[in-house]
Structure 1
Amino acid sequence: MGDFIKKFFDIKFWKFILVGVINTLVGNGLQFVLFALFAWDRYEWGVWLASALGYLIGSIVSYFLNKYFTFKNTEKGWKPILRFALNIAVCYALSYCIAIPLIKWICTANNFTMFSFTVEQFAGYTSMILGSCLFVAFNYIGQRFFAFKEKK
């Protein structure tokens, strides 16, 4: 078990975290700006649309940084791109299919809000934060062991 932990949290993990900080600034920054700028906070689909556009742009940045910097993957062609895209899609769907209903249920059941947001606005922003955290965890596992897995 100790060897697995050491391998899991090696230098690749820390590079992934560094790339993730960059992706967070780009992707999440864009998603929060879109959510607020276009008043998508009024609609449940606003979280989906703002987060999808943010993740699309962030994922493009992530692909190049993780392929060449984090995992030093030299594989050419469409296969790594397709594996990466599949990983991103699965991680995104899984993360937000958990985060949105969970946060909406918690906030509406308890009429919970902060900072003068409506319950719906607060639930939307909080869903994006939880979804982002879940996405990071799922995405690291998917990129490390599927999208850019080491050839033996």
Structure 2
Amino acid sequence: MAKLIDSTVPKFLLVGVINTIVGAGTMFLLYNLVHCSYWFSSAANYVVGGIVSFFLNKYFTFQNKVWSWGQVVKFTVNLLICYLAGYGIAKEAAELVLSGLDVVIRENIAMLVGMCLYTVLNYFGQRFWAFR
């Protein structure tokens, strides 16, 4: 069995920094300045970041040189599952734990927590399924 933590982790985190700057910037700007919904803003993050992530992680992080539409589908399904799980759990947890706070504060915190959950789930999904 492959080690869970290896040389791909630092590369994945570097790609994550790039994705965070681009995607989170998009998400927080849409939510706080354009006043789009929680789900629209967070989804926009992963559409924009997902495109960057696919190419950087495929070729740089996981050194995967094979091209197939199957990989694109696996990558997209992985992103969708990680997004729904990470942001769904974070939103529900924020509703329960932070119920006394204003909805804008709760949802901003939920988006931050959702980003973290998504990242962990996404790494394992890409490494062991999409780009295996």
Q: Which residue in 2 is equivalent to 1:35?
A: 31
Q: Does residue 145 in structure 1 map to residue 128 in structure 2?
A: yes
| C-alpha displacement of 1:121 | 0.7
| C-alpha displacement of 1:77 | 2.0
| C-alpha displacement of 1:96 | 1.2
Partners of 1:75 and 1:83 in 2: CA distance: 14
Provide TM-score, normalisation by structure 2: 0.95
Q: Which residue in 2 is equivalent to 1:116?
A: none
Q: Does residue 130 in structure 1 map to residue 113 in structure 2?
A: yes
Structure 1 stretches of at least 4 aligned residues deviating more than 3 Å after TM superposition: none
Residue of structure 2 aligned with 1:98, choices 69, 89, 96: 89
| C-alpha displacement of 1:39 | 2.1
- Gaps of at least 5 residues in structure 2 are none
Q: Does residue 69 in structure 1 map to residue 65 in structure 2?
A: no
Q: How many residues align?
A: 132
Q: Aligned Cα RMSD in Å?
A: 1.2
- Write the letter of the residue equivalent to 2:8: K
Overall identity of the aligned pairs, in %: 41
- Write the letter of the residue equivalent to 1:52: A
Q: Does residue 86 in structure 1 map to residue 83 in structure 2?
A: no
Provide TM-score, normalisation by structure 1: 0.83
